[in-house]
Amino acid sequence: SLLHDTEKHLNKQIEMEGKSSAYYLSMASWCDMMGYANAAKHLYAHSEEERQHMLKIFHYINEAGGHAIQPAIDSIQHHFNSLREVFELILEHEIQVTKSINKIVDHCFEVKDFATFSFMQWYVTEQREEETLARRALEIFDIIGEAGIGLWTIDQELGKLHNLT
């Protein structure tokens, strides 16, 4: 069964993934409202993925005899200054998520919980991809530039991001 400490770490990660899902859904809605239809589509899909990340840990905890806790989700940001800001915030957020995953892996190693250590490897790989994707999104802004029809073109390209994963 799970050590109390490990369960606490995992429940905190559930909260983080749940918040990621809500955060990206909120971003999707803002993009939709602003007419960035392709970025919105990408973010709706990303929000769904984050929910899957959350559920995966949920099931792991309960199957290991622990108690997964549905997190309270509050203080989600609804307004953004620009499309670029949305994607800057995503990169910042994913870097925080990676740090949190690494902390859990570190903890598992320390207490010799090799089952959870092994379970967490999926997240380690996933975070590598998430950060790459977030950096790629910002490169699209840099390469195309936001002037003129730039933003329209950027939106088209952001819509294709999900094909990369």
Non-local CB neighbours of 24 within 8 Å, separated by 6+ positions: 43, 44, 46, 47, 50, 90
Q: What is the DSSP track for 121-160? A: HHHHHHHHHHHHHHHHHHHHHHHH-STTTHHHHHHHHHTT
For the bound state, the minimum distance from the C-beta of residue 145 to ligand OFO, rounded and expressed in Å, comes to 27
Element (H, E) at 88: helix 83-110
Toward ligand OFO, which CB reaches closer, 6 or 47?
47
57-86 binders of ligand OFO (CB under 6 A): none
Identify the three-state secondary structure at position 32.
helix
| Residue 50 near ligand OFO by CB under 6 A | yes
Q: Is 50 known as a binding-site position?
A: yes
Residue of 39, 20, 16 whose CA lies nearest to 29: 39
Q: Are 62 and 68 in contact (CB under 8 A)?
A: yes
Site string for ligand OFO, 107-136 (x = CB under 6 A): -------------------x---x------
| Residue 94 near ligand OFO by CB under 6 A | yes
For the bound state, the minimum distance from the C-beta of residue 124 to ligand OFO, rounded and expressed in Å, comes to 11
| Residue 42 near ligand OFO by CB under 6 A | no
Of the residues 14, 39, 97, 161, which one makes contact with ligand OFO according to CB under 6 A: 97
Residue 137 CB neighbours (<10 A) = 22
For the bound state, the minimum distance from the C-beta of residue 45 to ligand OFO, rounded and expressed in Å, comes to 12
Q: Is 146 known as a binding-site position?
A: no
Tokens of 7: 């369960």
Of the residues 7, 53, 107, 140, which one makes contact with ligand OFO according to CB under 6 A: 53
Q: Is 88 known as a binding-site position?
A: no
Interface residue list for ligand OFO (CB under 6 A): 17, 20, 50, 53, 94, 97, 126, 130
